[in-house]
Amino acid sequence: MTVDGAVKGPIREWLMANATGGRPVSDDQPLIRDGLLTSLMVVELVMFLEQQFGVVIDDMDVSEENFASIQAIAELVDRKRA
């Protein structure tokens, strides 16, 4: 799935401000596996995504697969916006 940069950009900025200490993150970098996202950060990221993109992310959507990378998160947002 091709995801618009308007979705990935804000996600990347949030991650750099809240998870990576300002270090850049590639679209495919494994966020959970590399220890960049903790469970608490995922909750904070969900709140950000809901506010930023006007989507509702259900508890069932909060999975390692959906939050594995910027690409996966952006695809989740796109599915929720559709």
Which one-letter DSSP state was computed for residue 29?
-
The answer on pLDDT for 1 being more than 60 is no
Torsion of CA 16, 20, 25, 27, to 10 degrees: -90
Q: Can you give the residue ranges of every domain in the chain?
A: 5-81
Count Cα atoms within 13 angstroms, Cβ side, for 75.
13
Cα 41–82–76 angle (5° rounding)? 25
User: In CATH, what number does 5-81 get?
Assistant: 1.10.1200.10
Contacts of 74 (CB under 8 A, 6+ apart): 3, 4, 7, 8, 11, 27
Per residue in 13-56, pLDDT (tens digit) is 999 999 999 999 999 999 999 999 999 999 999 999 999 999 99
